[in-house]
Amino acid sequence: MNRFNHCRVTGIAVCCLVLAGIGVWARQGRGPAQNQPPVPAFKSEEYLLLGNATRGAGEPMIAVDPTNPNNIIAVAMGSLQRIIVDGKPAIGNSEYHRTANSTITWLAVTHDGGMTWDVRELPILSGKLTRCPDSFADVTKDGVFIAGCEPRETASDPDYWGMSAFVVSHDKGKTWGPVVQMISDYQLNRFAPGLKPVSGAFPKDSPTRVASNSPWDRPFTAIDDSTGVVYGFAQGGSAVTTPTTRRSQAYITASTDGGKSFGTVYSWDSPEYPQSSRGNAQTAGHGVVAVAYTASSVPASENATCPCPVLGISRNQGKSFTYHVLKNLMPSGPQAAVAAAQPAPEAGRRGGSGLSALSMDPTKAGRMAMLKSEGARYSVSISEDFGQTWSPFVVAGTVPDATGFSKPAFEFSRDGVLGLIWRESYPDRSYEIWAAISKDSGKTFSKPFKVSHGRSPASDPYRNSGLFGDDIQDLCMDKESIHLVWGDSRAGFLGVWYGRVRFSDFEF
């Protein structure tokens, strides 16, 4: 696959560059026909893909077509860089919630491996659904594109309703089908009996009600190639515990018809293993779904001090799970009591320590990888039996001068290569994007590879999409390369940059 920067150079500029090149070679006593093209300064490719000075881009996701790696889809939250309320600049989530079209889903599709991109808005909003944050994308093993977000009502009070939903394309992103609701305020009857998700504002009958995490918050998808099941997840929901109190609860639902519809919505946790923070990680493959979260308590037989990390395994599409404490993530000795008193980390996004991601290997049933964040280092442990036992952790990514790591993305490719990307930050809040891969199922990793060609500065307060959308970044892989998307401010505003590194350029 031969891919070039999507920026174009005018014919005059090309001519000047060619003539300059001829002059250099002539002075060295050689003609241009005898020489190879100059070696680029960077082995990685990168460029600004989504966003501009008016509407930025953040929290991107990317997926590559396994039937043709030249077909790639990327999405991102497209939020207005500045909101004007009553003639004055306003920055904050509340203004975005009250402003129609303040956030849309950017859609970028290429059919030539990134030489050119079709960039537009994902056609998913209509009627009273006027905002669409938390974008996501996926591609099935047959090359069907999936792209979605959280279509929401725009309201002046906290009673906004919405859903996690997507649209499907069978022609590589040229046209899109009807909206499919994964988890929705408009389909609360799909929740399993006994579940009481918070929907809209909370408490519902109180004059002081406030906007609350809805059951569809922070959606993701996972596709089990072995069964064709498309899973929809929501990491950021809440459950009603009393009329005036709530707690975190994540949700899962499954589509067995290729994404045309979804069935019952189940919770990740159980009364014996109640969730105490946002869902941490999810993955699927070989007829199995795995989820991980922090539990506030567990059965006494676990002999664990909680809050504690829990792994749930389902073999019936999320209807029920078997659970156990992830003892390899539990501190021992005097550190245990101290750790139990600390707030549970959320997927390593803020540079804390703990479980950051899970990924199922599509090439080997039972094999699953776990990513652990440890300040400025990421380590990986491998299970060969769907999480019952785990190997010792090995270092997957670290850089000597790093002051902090954050926002990792981590997954197996459809060919069994394990990829990791992360954001390395510095004291002035600038950062760079790094990557590493494993070709032996997580036993060893390549040397860290710096993907970005320069540091992103700290975000400009006037061009940062109101700080509304830079929590995650993403990766995908084909047979030869790793593709990355991340939020970056080098253009003078928060936009999404695309990068690519060939596997052959990683050093081991």
The amino acid at 33 = A
40-343+355-505 has CATH 3.40.50.300 classification: no
Determine contact, residues 253/264, Cβ cutoff 8 Å.
yes
- Give the model's pLDDT for residue 302: 97
- Give the model's pLDDT for residue 22: 35
Nearest alpha-carbon partner for 494 in 454, 463, 453: 463
- Give the model's pLDDT for residue 39: 63
Nearest alpha-carbon partner for 62 in 54, 52, 50: 50
Q: Which position has the higher pLDDT, 401 or 118?
A: 118
- Give the model's pLDDT for residue 209: 66
- The Cα 470–Cα 76 span in angstroms is 10
Per-residue pLDDT of 7-21, as tens digits, reads 333 333 434 433 334
Determine contact, residues 498/116, Cβ cutoff 8 Å.
no
Per-residue pLDDT of 17-72, as tens digits, reads 333 343 333 333 334 445 666 666 889 999 999 999 999 999 999 999 999 999 99
Mean pLDDT computed over 248-259: 97
Count of beta carbons in the 10 Å neighbourhood of residue 32: 12
Instruction: Give the DSSP letter string of 368-435.
Output: EEEEEE-SSEEEEEEESSTTSS-PPPEEEEE-TT-SEEEEEEEEE-TTS-EEEEEEEE-TTS-EEEEE
Mean pLDDT computed over 350-373: 87
Mean pLDDT computed over 344-350: 38
- Give the model's pLDDT for residue 37: 66
In which element (H, E) is residue 17 found?
Answer: helix 11-27
For all residues of the chain together, what is the average pLDDT?
A: 87
Per-residue pLDDT of 183-201, as tens digits, reads 999 999 999 999 999 987 7
Q: Where are the domains of the chain?
A: 40-343+355-505
Instruction: Give the DSSP letter string of 201-261.
Output: EESTT-TT-EE---TT-SEEEEEETTTTEEEEEESS-EEEEETTEEEE--EEEEESSSSS-
- Give the model's pLDDT for residue 351: 34
Mean pLDDT computed over 467-490: 95
Nearest alpha-carbon partner for 251 in 174, 197, 329, 297: 197
3-state secondary structure of 118: strand
The pair of three-digit structure tokens given for residue 444, joined into one six-digit string = 């060893």
- Give the model's pLDDT for residue 404: 81
Per-residue pLDDT of 398-433, as tens digits, reads 887 777 889 999 999 999 999 999 999 988 899 999
Q: Which of 171-185, 345-359, 398-412 has the highest mean pLDDT?
A: 171-185
The pair of three-digit structure tokens given for residue 345, joined into one six-digit string = 């980390």
Instruction: Say yes or no to pLDDT of 231 above 60.
Output: yes
